[in-house]
Structure 1
Amino acid sequence: MEGYLLVLALAALPAAGNFLGGLASEAFRVSGNGLGVALHAAAGVVLAVVGLELMPEALASSTPWVPIVAFVGGGGFFLALDKVIGYVQARFAPDGQSGPWAIFSGVSLDLFSDGVMIGTGTVVNPALGLLLAAGQVPADIPEGFAAVATLRRAGVSRSRRLALAAAFAIPILIGATLGYFALRSAPELVTLSVLALTGGALTAVVIEEMVPEAHTASRENGEEDTEEPRLNALALVAGFALFAAISAYLGE
Protein backbone atom coordinates (compact mmCIF):
# COMPACT_ATOMS: atom_id res chain seq x y z
CA MET A 1 0.00 0.00 0.00
CA GLU A 2 2.90 2.34 0.73
CA GLY A 3 4.13 1.97 -2.85
CA TYR A 4 0.68 2.70 -4.24
CA LEU A 5 0.33 5.85 -2.14
CA LEU A 6 3.68 7.00 -3.54
CA VAL A 7 2.38 6.42 -7.08
CA LEU A 8 -0.75 8.47 -6.36
CA ALA A 9 1.33 11.29 -4.86
CA LEU A 10 3.62 11.34 -7.91
CA ALA A 11 0.69 11.26 -10.35
CA ALA A 12 -0.84 14.21 -8.49
CA LEU A 13 2.11 16.41 -9.53
CA PRO A 14 1.34 16.58 -13.29
CA ALA A 15 -2.40 16.58 -12.49
CA ALA A 16 -1.85 19.71 -10.40
CA GLY A 17 0.26 21.24 -13.19
CA ASN A 18 -2.54 20.64 -15.69
CA PHE A 19 -5.10 22.22 -13.33
CA LEU A 20 -2.87 25.24 -12.68
CA GLY A 21 -2.54 25.70 -16.44
CA GLY A 22 -6.32 25.74 -16.68
CA LEU A 23 -6.57 28.33 -13.90
CA ALA A 24 -3.95 30.46 -15.66
CA SER A 25 -6.09 30.37 -18.79
CA GLU A 26 -8.94 31.90 -16.79
CA ALA A 27 -6.73 34.63 -15.34
CA PHE A 28 -4.52 35.59 -18.29
CA ARG A 29 -4.97 36.07 -22.00
CA VAL A 30 -2.03 34.76 -24.02
CA SER A 31 -1.58 35.42 -27.73
CA GLY A 32 -1.59 32.62 -30.27
CA ASN A 33 2.18 33.02 -30.67
CA GLY A 34 2.66 32.75 -26.92
CA LEU A 35 0.57 29.58 -26.77
CA GLY A 36 2.52 28.15 -29.71
CA VAL A 37 5.82 28.76 -27.93
CA ALA A 38 4.47 27.17 -24.73
CA LEU A 39 3.32 24.07 -26.60
CA HIS A 40 6.74 23.73 -28.28
CA ALA A 41 8.40 23.90 -24.87
CA ALA A 42 6.03 21.18 -23.64
CA ALA A 43 6.89 19.08 -26.71
CA GLY A 44 10.59 19.43 -25.89
CA VAL A 45 9.98 18.16 -22.36
CA VAL A 46 8.04 15.14 -23.64
CA LEU A 47 10.76 14.25 -26.16
CA ALA A 48 13.36 14.51 -23.39
CA VAL A 49 11.30 12.20 -21.15
CA VAL A 50 11.21 9.62 -23.94
CA GLY A 51 14.82 10.02 -25.09
CA LEU A 52 16.58 10.44 -21.74
CA GLU A 53 14.55 8.23 -19.40
CA LEU A 54 12.01 5.89 -20.98
CA MET A 55 13.99 4.39 -23.86
CA PRO A 56 17.37 4.10 -22.11
CA GLU A 57 15.56 2.25 -19.28
CA ALA A 58 13.66 0.04 -21.73
CA LEU A 59 16.77 -0.78 -23.77
CA ALA A 60 18.48 -2.10 -20.64
CA SER A 61 16.49 -5.28 -21.26
CA SER A 62 18.43 -8.44 -22.11
CA THR A 63 16.33 -8.63 -25.29
CA PRO A 64 16.20 -4.99 -26.43
CA TRP A 65 14.43 -5.78 -29.72
CA VAL A 66 11.19 -6.42 -27.80
CA PRO A 67 10.98 -2.89 -26.32
CA ILE A 68 11.99 -1.49 -29.73
CA VAL A 69 9.03 -3.25 -31.35
CA ALA A 70 6.84 -2.05 -28.47
CA PHE A 71 7.98 1.54 -29.14
CA VAL A 72 6.77 1.26 -32.74
CA GLY A 73 3.58 -0.36 -31.50
CA GLY A 74 3.01 2.58 -29.17
CA GLY A 75 3.12 4.97 -32.10
CA GLY A 76 0.65 2.81 -34.02
CA PHE A 77 -1.60 2.56 -30.98
CA PHE A 78 -1.77 6.34 -30.70
CA LEU A 79 -2.52 6.76 -34.40
CA ALA A 80 -5.40 4.27 -34.11
CA LEU A 81 -6.82 6.12 -31.10
CA ASP A 82 -6.36 9.44 -32.89
CA LYS A 83 -8.46 8.10 -35.77
CA VAL A 84 -11.22 7.16 -33.32
CA ILE A 85 -11.10 10.63 -31.73
CA GLY A 86 -11.27 12.19 -35.21
CA TYR A 87 -14.38 10.14 -35.92
CA VAL A 88 -15.97 11.30 -32.67
CA GLN A 89 -15.17 14.93 -33.50
CA ALA A 90 -16.69 14.59 -36.97
CA ARG A 91 -19.74 12.87 -35.49
CA PHE A 92 -20.49 15.36 -32.73
CA ALA A 93 -19.04 18.52 -34.30
CA PRO A 94 -19.89 18.39 -38.00
CA ASP A 95 -19.14 22.11 -38.41
CA GLY A 96 -15.45 21.35 -37.75
CA GLN A 97 -15.43 22.81 -34.25
CA SER A 98 -14.33 20.33 -31.59
CA GLY A 99 -17.03 19.87 -29.02
CA PRO A 100 -16.25 19.98 -25.31
CA TRP A 101 -16.53 16.19 -25.06
CA ALA A 102 -13.97 15.66 -27.82
CA ILE A 103 -11.60 18.19 -26.22
CA PHE A 104 -11.92 16.51 -22.85
CA SER A 105 -11.36 13.07 -24.42
CA GLY A 106 -8.17 14.11 -26.21
CA VAL A 107 -6.54 15.65 -23.14
CA SER A 108 -7.73 12.78 -20.95
CA LEU A 109 -6.06 10.27 -23.28
CA ASP A 110 -2.72 12.06 -22.99
CA LEU A 111 -2.99 12.30 -19.20
CA PHE A 112 -3.96 8.63 -18.95
CA SER A 113 -0.75 7.70 -20.79
CA ASP A 114 1.19 9.94 -18.40
CA GLY A 115 -0.33 8.03 -15.49
CA VAL A 116 0.56 4.65 -16.96
CA MET A 117 4.10 5.90 -17.51
CA ILE A 118 4.43 7.08 -13.90
CA GLY A 119 2.91 3.90 -12.45
CA THR A 120 5.13 1.68 -14.59
CA GLY A 121 8.23 3.78 -13.95
CA THR A 122 7.67 3.59 -10.19
CA VAL A 123 7.48 -0.22 -10.40
CA VAL A 124 10.87 -0.22 -12.14
CA ASN A 125 12.42 2.32 -9.76
CA PRO A 126 10.73 4.89 -7.45
CA ALA A 127 13.38 7.46 -8.45
CA LEU A 128 12.41 6.97 -12.11
CA GLY A 129 8.76 7.51 -11.19
CA LEU A 130 9.68 10.77 -9.48
CA LEU A 131 11.68 11.93 -12.50
CA LEU A 132 8.86 11.14 -14.90
CA ALA A 133 6.27 12.88 -12.73
CA ALA A 134 8.42 15.98 -12.22
CA GLY A 135 9.27 16.10 -15.90
CA GLN A 136 5.62 16.03 -16.95
CA VAL A 137 4.67 19.08 -14.84
CA PRO A 138 6.17 21.70 -17.22
CA ALA A 139 4.54 19.89 -20.14
CA ASP A 140 1.09 19.64 -18.57
CA ILE A 141 0.82 23.31 -17.56
CA PRO A 142 0.57 24.61 -21.17
CA GLU A 143 -1.60 21.60 -22.07
CA GLY A 144 -4.10 22.52 -19.34
CA PHE A 145 -3.94 26.15 -20.45
CA ALA A 146 -4.69 25.22 -24.07
CA ALA A 147 -7.50 22.83 -23.15
CA VAL A 148 -9.39 25.33 -21.00
CA ALA A 149 -8.79 28.13 -23.50
CA THR A 150 -10.30 25.93 -26.21
CA LEU A 151 -13.30 25.15 -24.01
CA ARG A 152 -13.80 28.88 -23.48
CA ARG A 153 -13.74 29.48 -27.23
CA ALA A 154 -16.32 26.69 -27.60
CA GLY A 155 -18.68 28.65 -25.36
CA VAL A 156 -18.52 26.36 -22.31
CA SER A 157 -19.54 28.13 -19.10
CA ARG A 158 -16.84 29.11 -16.60
CA SER A 159 -18.13 26.79 -13.86
CA ARG A 160 -18.15 23.84 -16.26
CA ARG A 161 -14.68 24.70 -17.57
CA LEU A 162 -13.27 24.66 -14.03
CA ALA A 163 -15.07 21.39 -13.25
CA LEU A 164 -13.60 19.78 -16.37
CA ALA A 165 -10.13 21.15 -15.52
CA ALA A 166 -10.37 19.52 -12.07
CA ALA A 167 -11.68 16.28 -13.63
CA PHE A 168 -8.50 15.95 -15.69
CA ALA A 169 -6.94 14.47 -12.53
CA ILE A 170 -9.12 11.37 -12.91
CA PRO A 171 -7.53 9.80 -16.04
CA ILE A 172 -3.96 10.28 -14.80
CA LEU A 173 -4.77 8.68 -11.43
CA ILE A 174 -6.54 5.77 -13.17
CA GLY A 175 -3.57 5.31 -15.52
CA ALA A 176 -1.11 5.36 -12.62
CA THR A 177 -3.19 2.80 -10.73
CA LEU A 178 -3.36 0.45 -13.72
CA GLY A 179 0.33 0.88 -14.46
CA TYR A 180 1.28 0.08 -10.88
CA PHE A 181 -0.98 -2.86 -10.08
CA ALA A 182 -0.96 -4.50 -13.52
CA LEU A 183 2.83 -4.54 -13.71
CA ARG A 184 3.84 -4.87 -10.08
CA SER A 185 4.31 -8.64 -10.44
CA ALA A 186 4.94 -8.74 -14.18
CA PRO A 187 8.23 -9.97 -15.69
CA GLU A 188 10.81 -7.24 -16.20
CA LEU A 189 10.60 -7.56 -19.98
CA VAL A 190 6.87 -6.81 -19.91
CA THR A 191 7.36 -3.77 -17.69
CA LEU A 192 10.16 -2.37 -19.85
CA SER A 193 8.11 -3.01 -23.00
CA VAL A 194 5.20 -1.02 -21.55
CA LEU A 195 7.62 1.84 -20.88
CA ALA A 196 8.75 1.68 -24.52
CA LEU A 197 5.16 1.47 -25.79
CA THR A 198 4.30 4.58 -23.75
CA GLY A 199 7.37 6.32 -25.19
CA GLY A 200 6.23 5.52 -28.73
CA ALA A 201 2.75 6.88 -28.02
CA LEU A 202 4.15 10.08 -26.50
CA THR A 203 6.46 10.61 -29.46
CA ALA A 204 3.51 10.28 -31.82
CA VAL A 205 1.53 12.74 -29.67
CA VAL A 206 4.31 15.32 -30.07
CA ILE A 207 4.61 14.89 -33.85
CA GLU A 208 0.93 14.53 -34.71
CA GLU A 209 -0.76 16.73 -32.10
CA MET A 210 1.37 19.11 -30.05
CA VAL A 211 3.57 20.64 -32.74
CA PRO A 212 0.78 21.03 -35.35
CA GLU A 213 -1.51 22.51 -32.66
CA ALA A 214 1.24 24.97 -31.72
CA HIS A 215 1.50 26.25 -35.29
CA THR A 216 -2.28 26.39 -35.60
CA ALA A 217 -2.46 28.53 -32.44
CA SER A 218 0.11 30.93 -33.91
CA ARG A 219 -1.82 31.29 -37.16
CA GLU A 220 -5.28 31.38 -35.57
CA ASN A 221 -5.52 35.15 -35.33
CA GLY A 222 -3.13 35.96 -38.15
CA GLU A 223 -0.33 36.55 -35.65
CA GLU A 224 2.34 34.34 -37.15
CA ASP A 225 5.40 36.26 -38.37
CA THR A 226 8.88 35.38 -39.57
CA GLU A 227 10.29 35.29 -36.03
CA GLU A 228 7.74 32.78 -34.71
CA PRO A 229 9.35 29.59 -36.10
CA ARG A 230 12.71 30.55 -34.55
CA LEU A 231 11.11 31.13 -31.16
CA ASN A 232 9.28 27.81 -31.44
CA ALA A 233 12.48 25.91 -32.21
CA LEU A 234 14.27 27.61 -29.32
CA ALA A 235 11.38 26.82 -26.96
CA LEU A 236 11.45 23.14 -27.98
CA VAL A 237 15.19 22.89 -27.33
CA ALA A 238 14.81 24.77 -24.02
CA GLY A 239 12.06 22.35 -22.95
CA PHE A 240 14.33 19.42 -23.72
CA ALA A 241 17.17 21.07 -21.77
CA LEU A 242 14.86 21.71 -18.81
CA PHE A 243 14.06 18.03 -18.39
CA ALA A 244 17.71 17.14 -19.02
CA ALA A 245 18.61 19.34 -16.04
CA ILE A 246 15.89 17.73 -13.91
CA SER A 247 17.17 14.29 -14.91
CA ALA A 248 20.81 15.16 -14.25
CA TYR A 249 20.36 16.79 -10.83
CA LEU A 250 17.22 15.19 -9.43
CA GLY A 251 18.23 11.76 -10.65
CA GLU A 252 21.45 11.64 -8.68
Structure 2
Amino acid sequence: MNEFWIVAGLALLPGFGNLAGGMVAEFGRTTPRLLNLALHAASGIVIGVVAIELIPEALNNIAGWWIALAFASGGLLYVGAEAMIDRMTVGKGRGSSAMWMIYVAVAVDLSGDGLMIGSGSAVATSLAVVLAAGQVLADFPEGYSVVANLREKNVPRRLRIAVSISFPLYCLGMALVAWFLLQNAPEEIKYVTLSAIAGLLSVAAVEEMLKEAHDAKADSRTSAIAFVAGFTLFALVSAGLATALGTERNLEQSSTSPSQVQQTENS
Protein backbone atom coordinates (compact mmCIF):
# COMPACT_ATOMS: atom_id res chain seq x y z
CA MET A 1 0.00 0.00 0.00
CA ASN A 2 2.91 2.35 0.71
CA GLU A 3 4.17 1.80 -2.83
CA PHE A 4 0.70 2.66 -4.15
CA TRP A 5 0.85 6.08 -2.50
CA ILE A 6 4.39 6.65 -3.75
CA VAL A 7 3.26 5.96 -7.33
CA ALA A 8 0.21 8.21 -6.89
CA GLY A 9 2.33 11.04 -5.50
CA LEU A 10 4.93 10.79 -8.25
CA ALA A 11 2.22 10.66 -10.93
CA LEU A 12 0.67 13.90 -9.74
CA LEU A 13 3.95 15.80 -10.09
CA PRO A 14 3.96 16.18 -13.91
CA GLY A 15 0.30 17.25 -13.86
CA PHE A 16 1.00 19.86 -11.21
CA GLY A 17 4.05 20.99 -13.19
CA ASN A 18 1.74 21.49 -16.17
CA LEU A 19 -0.75 23.33 -13.95
CA ALA A 20 1.97 25.60 -12.55
CA GLY A 21 3.16 26.52 -16.04
CA GLY A 22 -0.42 27.26 -17.05
CA MET A 23 -0.93 29.57 -14.09
CA VAL A 24 2.23 31.48 -14.96
CA ALA A 25 0.84 32.02 -18.46
CA GLU A 26 -2.59 32.84 -17.04
CA PHE A 27 -1.51 35.56 -14.63
CA GLY A 28 1.81 36.61 -16.17
CA ARG A 29 3.06 38.02 -19.43
CA THR A 30 3.20 35.81 -22.51
CA THR A 31 4.96 36.48 -25.80
CA PRO A 32 5.57 34.35 -28.90
CA ARG A 33 9.32 34.44 -28.21
CA LEU A 34 8.90 33.15 -24.64
CA LEU A 35 6.61 30.41 -25.94
CA ASN A 36 9.20 29.41 -28.54
CA LEU A 37 11.95 29.20 -25.93
CA ALA A 38 9.79 27.31 -23.44
CA LEU A 39 8.86 24.66 -26.00
CA HIS A 40 12.47 24.21 -27.14
CA ALA A 41 13.53 23.72 -23.52
CA ALA A 42 10.71 21.20 -22.99
CA SER A 43 11.78 19.30 -26.12
CA GLY A 44 15.36 19.11 -24.88
CA ILE A 45 14.16 17.71 -21.54
CA VAL A 46 11.98 15.07 -23.21
CA ILE A 47 14.84 13.95 -25.46
CA GLY A 48 16.99 13.80 -22.33
CA VAL A 49 14.47 11.50 -20.62
CA VAL A 50 14.58 9.16 -23.63
CA ALA A 51 18.35 9.23 -24.16
CA ILE A 52 19.53 9.18 -20.54
CA GLU A 53 16.93 7.07 -18.74
CA LEU A 54 14.52 5.06 -20.90
CA ILE A 55 16.66 3.62 -23.69
CA PRO A 56 19.75 2.83 -21.54
CA GLU A 57 17.48 1.10 -19.01
CA ALA A 58 16.00 -1.03 -21.77
CA LEU A 59 19.39 -1.77 -23.40
CA ASN A 60 20.64 -3.21 -20.13
CA ASN A 61 17.75 -5.66 -19.89
CA ILE A 62 16.30 -6.71 -23.27
CA ALA A 63 17.52 -7.46 -26.77
CA GLY A 64 17.99 -4.60 -29.21
CA TRP A 65 15.41 -5.85 -31.70
CA TRP A 66 12.72 -5.77 -28.97
CA ILE A 67 13.65 -2.15 -28.30
CA ALA A 68 13.42 -1.32 -31.99
CA LEU A 69 9.97 -2.87 -32.36
CA ALA A 70 8.67 -1.30 -29.16
CA PHE A 71 10.07 2.14 -30.03
CA ALA A 72 8.44 1.98 -33.47
CA SER A 73 5.14 0.91 -31.92
CA GLY A 74 5.20 3.85 -29.50
CA GLY A 75 5.98 6.32 -32.26
CA LEU A 76 3.22 4.95 -34.49
CA LEU A 77 0.79 5.09 -31.57
CA TYR A 78 1.43 8.81 -31.23
CA VAL A 79 0.99 9.33 -34.97
CA GLY A 80 -2.29 7.42 -34.84
CA ALA A 81 -3.54 9.46 -31.88
CA GLU A 82 -2.65 12.68 -33.69
CA ALA A 83 -4.52 11.51 -36.82
CA MET A 84 -7.56 10.71 -34.68
CA ILE A 85 -7.46 14.18 -33.13
CA ASP A 86 -7.31 15.71 -36.62
CA ARG A 87 -10.40 13.76 -37.70
CA MET A 88 -12.28 14.72 -34.54
CA THR A 89 -11.77 18.42 -35.19
CA VAL A 90 -12.44 18.51 -38.95
CA GLY A 91 -15.39 20.72 -39.88
CA LYS A 92 -15.67 22.48 -36.52
CA GLY A 93 -15.23 26.18 -35.92
CA ARG A 94 -11.68 27.45 -35.65
CA GLY A 95 -11.90 28.33 -31.96
CA SER A 96 -13.55 25.06 -30.94
CA SER A 97 -11.26 22.98 -33.13
CA ALA A 98 -8.08 24.60 -31.85
CA MET A 99 -9.18 24.41 -28.24
CA TRP A 100 -10.04 20.69 -28.33
CA MET A 101 -6.96 19.89 -30.39
CA ILE A 102 -4.78 21.41 -27.68
CA TYR A 103 -6.76 19.81 -24.86
CA VAL A 104 -6.73 16.28 -26.29
CA ALA A 105 -3.07 16.52 -27.34
CA VAL A 106 -1.95 17.52 -23.85
CA ALA A 107 -4.21 14.90 -22.26
CA VAL A 108 -2.57 12.24 -24.45
CA ASP A 109 0.87 13.57 -23.54
CA LEU A 110 0.13 13.51 -19.80
CA SER A 111 -1.33 10.04 -20.16
CA GLY A 112 2.02 9.04 -21.66
CA ASP A 113 3.77 10.63 -18.67
CA GLY A 114 1.57 8.60 -16.36
CA LEU A 115 2.29 5.38 -18.23
CA MET A 116 6.00 6.12 -18.07
CA ILE A 117 5.96 6.76 -14.32
CA GLY A 118 3.75 3.76 -13.60
CA SER A 119 5.96 1.53 -15.76
CA GLY A 120 9.09 2.95 -14.15
CA SER A 121 7.65 2.33 -10.68
CA ALA A 122 7.05 -1.30 -11.63
CA VAL A 123 10.76 -1.54 -12.49
CA ALA A 124 12.25 0.51 -9.63
CA THR A 125 10.95 3.31 -7.42
CA SER A 126 14.19 5.24 -7.93
CA LEU A 127 13.68 5.14 -11.71
CA ALA A 128 10.16 6.51 -11.30
CA VAL A 129 11.50 9.38 -9.17
CA VAL A 130 13.97 10.42 -11.88
CA LEU A 131 11.34 10.12 -14.63
CA ALA A 132 8.82 12.14 -12.63
CA ALA A 133 11.39 14.88 -12.00
CA GLY A 134 12.20 15.05 -15.70
CA GLN A 135 8.56 15.31 -16.68
CA VAL A 136 7.88 18.07 -14.15
CA LEU A 137 10.62 20.08 -15.85
CA ALA A 138 9.15 19.38 -19.30
CA ASP A 139 5.50 19.87 -18.36
CA PHE A 140 6.01 23.31 -16.85
CA PRO A 141 6.80 24.97 -20.22
CA GLU A 142 4.18 22.74 -21.88
CA GLY A 143 1.51 23.98 -19.46
CA TYR A 144 2.68 27.51 -20.16
CA SER A 145 2.31 26.98 -23.90
CA VAL A 146 -1.20 25.49 -23.58
CA VAL A 147 -2.66 28.37 -21.61
CA ALA A 148 -0.79 30.94 -23.70
CA ASN A 149 -2.40 29.46 -26.83
CA LEU A 150 -5.85 29.40 -25.23
CA ARG A 151 -5.46 33.03 -24.19
CA GLU A 152 -4.49 33.92 -27.73
CA LYS A 153 -7.70 32.25 -28.97
CA ASN A 154 -9.80 34.20 -26.41
CA VAL A 155 -11.00 31.12 -24.54
CA PRO A 156 -12.70 32.32 -21.29
CA ARG A 157 -10.47 32.37 -18.19
CA ARG A 158 -12.75 30.06 -16.19
CA LEU A 159 -12.48 27.40 -18.88
CA ARG A 160 -8.71 27.87 -19.20
CA ILE A 161 -8.23 27.26 -15.47
CA ALA A 162 -10.60 24.26 -15.52
CA VAL A 163 -8.60 22.75 -18.39
CA SER A 164 -5.33 23.17 -16.47
CA ILE A 165 -6.76 21.66 -13.29
CA SER A 166 -8.01 18.58 -15.14
CA PHE A 167 -4.58 17.59 -16.47
CA PRO A 168 -3.13 16.00 -13.28
CA LEU A 169 -6.01 13.49 -13.31
CA TYR A 170 -4.91 12.02 -16.66
CA CYS A 171 -1.38 11.46 -15.44
CA LEU A 172 -2.52 9.93 -12.14
CA GLY A 173 -5.03 7.59 -13.77
CA MET A 174 -2.65 6.22 -16.40
CA ALA A 175 0.20 5.81 -13.90
CA LEU A 176 -1.97 3.70 -11.61
CA VAL A 177 -3.23 1.61 -14.53
CA ALA A 178 0.34 0.94 -15.71
CA TRP A 179 1.55 0.15 -12.21
CA PHE A 180 -1.27 -2.29 -11.46
CA LEU A 181 -0.80 -4.07 -14.80
CA LEU A 182 2.99 -4.25 -14.70
CA GLN A 183 3.99 -4.64 -11.06
CA ASN A 184 3.81 -8.46 -11.32
CA ALA A 185 4.51 -8.70 -15.05
CA PRO A 186 7.66 -10.37 -16.48
CA GLU A 187 10.67 -8.06 -16.53
CA GLU A 188 10.85 -8.15 -20.34
CA ILE A 189 7.33 -6.70 -20.60
CA LYS A 190 8.27 -3.80 -18.33
CA TYR A 191 11.25 -2.82 -20.44
CA VAL A 192 9.39 -3.25 -23.72
CA THR A 193 6.78 -0.83 -22.32
CA LEU A 194 9.48 1.70 -21.43
CA SER A 195 10.86 1.43 -24.99
CA ALA A 196 7.43 2.03 -26.50
CA ILE A 197 6.97 5.11 -24.31
CA ALA A 198 10.39 6.32 -25.49
CA GLY A 199 9.12 6.18 -29.08
CA LEU A 200 5.95 8.04 -28.17
CA LEU A 201 7.85 10.79 -26.34
CA SER A 202 10.40 11.19 -29.13
CA VAL A 203 7.74 11.79 -31.75
CA ALA A 204 5.90 14.15 -29.40
CA ALA A 205 9.04 16.22 -28.83
CA VAL A 206 10.07 16.43 -32.49
CA GLU A 207 6.71 16.66 -34.23
CA GLU A 208 4.51 18.41 -31.67
CA MET A 209 6.56 20.59 -29.35
CA LEU A 210 9.08 21.84 -31.90
CA LYS A 211 6.39 22.36 -34.54
CA GLU A 212 4.37 24.43 -32.07
CA ALA A 213 7.53 26.37 -31.18
CA HIS A 214 8.17 27.16 -34.84
CA ASP A 215 4.56 28.25 -35.33
CA ALA A 216 4.80 30.60 -32.34
CA LYS A 217 7.95 32.39 -33.48
CA ALA A 218 10.78 31.87 -35.96
CA ASP A 219 13.74 30.08 -34.44
CA SER A 220 16.89 31.91 -33.42
CA ARG A 221 20.22 30.90 -31.90
CA THR A 222 18.58 31.40 -28.52
CA SER A 223 16.05 28.71 -29.43
CA ALA A 224 18.84 26.20 -29.97
CA ILE A 225 20.45 27.25 -26.70
CA ALA A 226 17.12 26.69 -24.92
CA PHE A 227 16.95 23.14 -26.37
CA VAL A 228 20.51 22.39 -25.22
CA ALA A 229 19.76 23.92 -21.82
CA GLY A 230 16.72 21.68 -21.40
CA PHE A 231 18.71 18.53 -22.16
CA THR A 232 21.57 19.65 -19.91
CA LEU A 233 19.20 20.46 -17.06
CA PHE A 234 17.65 17.02 -17.15
CA ALA A 235 21.09 15.38 -17.34
CA LEU A 236 22.12 17.24 -14.19
CA VAL A 237 18.87 16.40 -12.40
CA SER A 238 19.17 12.75 -13.42
CA ALA A 239 22.79 12.56 -12.24
CA GLY A 240 21.96 14.24 -8.94
CA LEU A 241 19.00 12.00 -8.22
CA ALA A 242 20.93 8.91 -9.34
CA THR A 243 23.60 9.77 -6.78
CA ALA A 244 21.04 10.40 -4.05
CA LEU A 245 19.12 7.21 -4.84
CA GLY A 246 22.12 5.13 -5.86
CA THR A 247 21.93 2.65 -3.02
CA GLU A 248 18.32 1.70 -3.74
CA ARG A 249 18.90 1.58 -7.49
CA ASN A 250 21.89 -0.73 -7.11
CA LEU A 251 19.97 -3.06 -4.80
CA GLU A 252 17.08 -3.26 -7.25
CA GLN A 253 19.36 -3.87 -10.22
CA SER A 254 21.30 -6.54 -8.33
CA SER A 255 18.07 -8.56 -8.03
CA THR A 256 18.11 -9.17 -11.81
CA SER A 257 17.63 -12.85 -12.54
CA PRO A 258 20.39 -14.94 -14.19
CA SER A 259 18.19 -15.42 -17.27
CA GLN A 260 17.96 -11.63 -17.68
CA VAL A 261 21.73 -11.31 -17.35
CA GLN A 262 22.21 -13.99 -20.00
CA GLN A 263 19.69 -12.31 -22.32
CA THR A 264 21.49 -8.98 -21.95
CA GLU A 265 24.82 -10.60 -22.79
CA ASN A 266 23.32 -12.28 -25.87
CA SER A 267 21.87 -8.99 -27.12
TM-score w.r.t. structure 2 length? 0.87
Q: What residue is the counterpart of 2:88 in the other structure?
A: 88
Q: Cα RMSD (Å) of the superposition? A: 1.4
Matched, 1:69 2:69: yes
What is the total number of aligned residue pairs between the two structures? 243
Q: Name the CA distance, whole Å, in 1 between partners of 2:40 and 2:62.
A: 35
Q: Name the CA distance, whole Å, in 1 between partners of 2:130 and 2:162.
A: 28
Name the SS of the counterpart of 2:184 in structure 1.
coil
Q: Name the CA distance, whole Å, in 2 between partners of 1:121 and 1:230.
A: 35
Name the SS of the counterpart of 2:63 in structure 1.
coil
Name the SS of the counterpart of 1:251 in structure 2.
helix
TM-score w.r.t. structure 1 length? 0.92
Alignment of structure 1 residues 4-43 onto 2, 5 Å: 4-43=4-43
Offset of 1:97 from its aligned partner?
A: 6.8
Offset of 1:199 from its aligned partner?
A: 0.3
The one of 210, 233, 243 aligned to 1:242: 233
Name the SS of the counterpart of 2:30 in structure 1.
coil
Offset of 1:73 from its aligned partner?
A: 1.1
Offset of 1:61 from its aligned partner?
A: 2.0
Q: Which moved more, 1:147-156 or 1:76-85?
A: 147-156
Q: Name the CA distance, whole Å, in 2 between partners of 1:128 and 1:40.
A: 25
Offset of 1:153 from its aligned partner?
A: 2.4
Asked whether the equivalents of residues 90 and 96 of structure 1 are also in contact (C-alpha less than 8 Å), the reply is no
Q: What amino acid is the match of 2:59?
A: L
Q: What amino acid is the match of 2:32?
A: G
Distance 1:90 1:171, change over 3 A: same
Distance 1:8 1:214, change over 3 A: same
Deviations 1:26-54 (A, max 9, x none): 11122111110110000000000000000
Q: Name the CA distance, whole Å, in 2 between partners of 1:211 and 1:199.
A: 17
Asked whether the equivalents of residues 75 and 201 of structure 1 are also in contact (C-alpha less than 8 Å), the reply is yes
Name the SS of the counterpart of 2:54 in structure 1.
helix
Alignment of structure 1 residues 199-238 onto 2, 5 Å: 199-218=198-217, 224=218, 228-238=219-229
Q: Name the CA distance, whole Å, in 2 between partners of 1:60 and 1:92.
A: 47
Name the SS of the counterpart of 2:220 in structure 1.
helix
Distance 1:125 1:196, change over 3 A: same
Asked whether the equivalents of residues 21 and 143 of structure 1 are also in contact (C-alpha less than 8 Å), the reply is yes
Asked whether the equivalents of residues 92 and 99 of structure 1 are also in contact (C-alpha less than 8 Å), the reply is no
Offset of 1:174 from its aligned partner?
A: 1.0
Percent identical = 41
Q: Which moved more, 1:35-44 or 1:54-63?
A: 54-63
Offset of 1:58 from its aligned partner?
A: 1.0
Offset of 1:96 from its aligned partner?
A: 8.0
Q: Name the CA distance, whole Å, in 1 between partners of 2:13 and 2:95.
A: 34
* Unmatched segments (≥5 aa) in structure 1: 219-223
Q: Name the CA distance, whole Å, in 1 between partners of 2:41 and 2:101.
A: 24
Alignment of structure 1 residues 1-252 onto 2, 5 Å: 1-93=1-93, 95=94, 98-218=97-217, 224=218, 228-252=219-243
Name the SS of the counterpart of 2:29 in structure 1.
coil
Asked whether the equivalents of residues 89 and 97 of structure 2 are also in contact (C-alpha less than 8 Å), the reply is yes
Q: Name the CA distance, whole Å, in 2 between partners of 1:87 and 1:62.
A: 37
Provide runs of 4+ in structure 1 moved above 4 Å. Answer: none
